[in-house]
Amino acid sequence: MGDLAVTPGPSPGGGLGFGLGLRRDHHREAMSGPVAGVDWFEVITENFLVDGGNPRRVLRAVRAHTPLALHGVSLSIGSTDPLDHAYLDRVAALCAEVEPAVVSDHLCWTSLGGHNTHDLLPLPYTEEALAHVAARVAAVQERLGRRILLENPSTYVVLRGAELDEATFLAEVARRADCGLLLDVNNVFVSCRNHGWDAAAYLAAIPVERVGYLHLAGHSHGGALLIDTHDAPVRDEVWALYARAARRFPAAATCLERDDHLPPLAELVAELGRARAIAGAARRGGAADGGGPAGPS
């Protein structure tokens, strides 16, 4: 990986603790000082890329007392379009200003022919796609001078010609590119339920040392499919899978996401507290309030 200015070791994110996705409704409270029960905040990278203005002011105020993670949606790491170096330069500048603990994006593609679809589209799980993505991740990490994390998005179709299962593809990208993983437990559950995959086998295929942190979120039913909507509390079946994930990835941090139908911040902090309790019990080997069964497993 050339002159990448990071040192080998655990994936970034481990040790952060329990964090919350920061949304506009809760900016004022987050700016006023540390929020009890929240160890760190995750923010959507693209919302803060413009120099100056209120968004950057908010970010600086929060960062003054609480660690941050940048979570992007525009890297389009799986696209055949050239990497957007102007975008990467803006991300690098933002990193220099706020010194995030983690930078992440999704294992997907969002652009084609210079047009952004604004959706996280699935990749073909082939050796050709694997080599393509791994090379692009390595180039991004060179550009940013840091190891990034890639998240497994929820999927609703599997493209024909797959040579690898999704979990193996994800793990192999991380190995070849020497990047970390942001393992979204809700997305694992949604994808496994949609495709009839084994959720426990999925977790078992992910290398422990690559997982920097875990995502938790709510989902909805969309006819025959589950849809990753981030607009509801975490469901009991996902809590059960999270307990399993916490046992397998004991060093990984956790982030709770909520993007729509936002409740008061105190409700999200209480839900994050449930994650803290489940993870603590799971890692001690005891019973945890993880809800019902973890789906197909």
User: pLDDT tens, 132-181?
Assistant: 999 999 999 999 999 999 999 988 877 777 799 999 999 999 999 999 99
Note whether 214 and 242 are within 8 A (CB).
yes
Query: Reduced to 3 states, what is the DSSP secondary structure of residue 268?
Result: helix
Domains of the chain, start order: 18-284 (3.20.20.150)
Question: For residue 216, how far is the Cα from the chain centroid?
Answer: 9
Please say if the pLDDT value at position 293 is more than 70.
no
Beta bridge partners of residue 93, listed in sequence order: none
Residue written as token pair 């481990």: 14
Residue listed under structure tokens 């550009």:
143
Q: Across residues 200-219, what is the average pLDDT? A: 97
Buried b (16+ CB within 10 A) or exposed e, 98-113: bebbbbbbbbbbbbee
Would the pLDDT of 288 be above 60?
no
**How far, in Å, are 40, 106, 164, 211 from residue 123 at the CA level?**
31, 11, 11, 20
Q: What is the band of 290 on the pLDDT scale with cuts at 50, 70, 90? A: low
Q: What was the pLDDT predicted at 297?
A: 37
The first and second tokens of residue 34, run together, are: 């540390």
- pTM, two decimals, is 0.89
Q: How many CB atoms lie under 10 A from the CB of residue 212? A: 29
Strand spans (E) along the chain = 18-21, 40-44, 68-71, 102-106, 109-112, 115-121, 149-151, 180-184, 211-216, 220-222, 225-227, 253-256
CA distance 112 to 80: 7
CA distances from 266 to 9, 17, 36, 52, 269 (A): 35, 18, 9, 29, 5
Return d(Cα 18, Cα 26) in angstroms, integer: 17
Model pLDDT, residue 286: 55
